[in-house]
C-alpha cells in the first residue's frame, strides 16, 4: 500500500509477502516452536515383569528348564550314587530308591530357577556338576533380569499425541492456536486443508 519505506520486526518470509516487498538476508532464524503441557506418563503394564527379556529369551529359558530337568532325570538314573537304601537299618534291601524321579527333577530345577532351596540334594558327581552349572546359569539370568527390570522401571514412558508439526496439523484431538494472519497460522491453515 506504499505507506512505509522500511520495516523492522520479527517478520517471517512468505511467498505472499515477497510479492510486495524485498527482504534482506535473515540475521536470525528461530523456526516454529511449540509450547504444550507435559504429557501424562503411560500407566504401568500388567506384564511389565516380562519386559526385561524378549519373548525369544523367555522361550529359551523354558526350553533350558525342560532340558536340564530331563538331564537330571537321566543322570540320576545312570549314576549309581543316586540309588539309595530306603531302609538304612537293613543291610541288603529288596530295592533301592532314586530321588531324581521326573517330578523331583522338575521341582529341583524350578527351585534353582527361583533361587530357592529344596530337600533334594545331588549325591553323584554328575548331578552335582549339573546342579552347579544350572545354578551358575540361573545366577547370570537373574542378575541380567534384575538389572534390566530396574532400567525398565526407572525410565518413564510418556504418551504423546504428536511428534512433529505435520502430525499436529493432521490430528484433530488437540486444540492449538497461533497469532492471527501470521506465518504459523497460515502454515496450519494450509496443512490442515490439504488433509481434509
User: Is 114 among the annotated ligand-binding positions?
Assistant: no
> What is the three-class DSSP state of 84?
strand
Longest dimension (CA), the chain: 121
Say if residue 180 carries a ligand binding annotation: no
Query: At a CB cut-off of 8 Å and minimum separation 6, what does 7 contact?
Result: 21
| Locus of grid cell 508439526 | 165
- Give the whole-angstrom CA distance, residue 122 versus residue 10: 81
103 is in an annotated binding site: no
132 grid coordinates: 552347579
Q: Of 136, 143, 155, which Cα lies nearest the Cα of 64?
A: 136
State the binding site for L-glutamate: 12, 17, 184
Per the annotation, binding residues are 12, 17, 184
Amino acid at each position: 500500500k506504499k505507506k512505509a519505506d522500511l520495516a523492522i520486526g520479527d517478520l517471517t518470509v512468505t511467498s505472499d509477502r515477497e510479492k510486495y516487498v524485498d527482504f534482506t538476508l535473515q540475521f536470525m532464524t528461530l523456526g516454529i516452536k511449540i509450547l504444550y503441557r507435559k504429557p501424562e506418563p503411560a500407566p504401568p503394564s500388567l506384564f511389565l515383569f516380562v519386559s526385561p527379556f524378549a519373548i525369544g529369551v523367555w522361550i529359551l529359558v523354558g526350553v533350558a528348564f525342560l532340558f536340564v530337568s530331563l538331564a537330571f532325570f537321566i543322570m540320576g538314573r545312570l549314576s549309581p550314587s543316586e540309588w539309595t537304601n530306603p531302609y538304612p537299618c537293613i543291610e541288603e534291601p529288596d530295592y533301592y530308591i532314586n530321588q531324581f524321579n521326573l517330578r523331583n527333577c522338575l521341582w529341583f530345577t524350578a527351585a534353582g530357577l527361583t533361587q530357592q532351596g529344596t530337600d533334594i540334594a545331588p549325591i553323584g558327581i554328575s548331578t552335582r556338576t549339573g546342579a552347579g552349572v544350572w545354578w551358575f546359569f540361573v545366577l547370570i539370568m537373574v542378575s541380567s533380569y534384575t538389572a534390566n527390570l530396574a532400567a525398565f522401571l526407572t525410565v518413564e514412558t510418556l504418551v504423546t499425541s504428536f511428534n512433529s508439526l505435520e502430525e499436529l496439523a493432521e490430528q484433530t484431538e488437540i486444540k492449538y492456536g497461533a497469532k492471527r494472519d501470521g506465518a504459523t497460522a497460515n502454515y496450519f491453515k494450509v496443512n490442515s486443508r490439504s488433509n481434509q
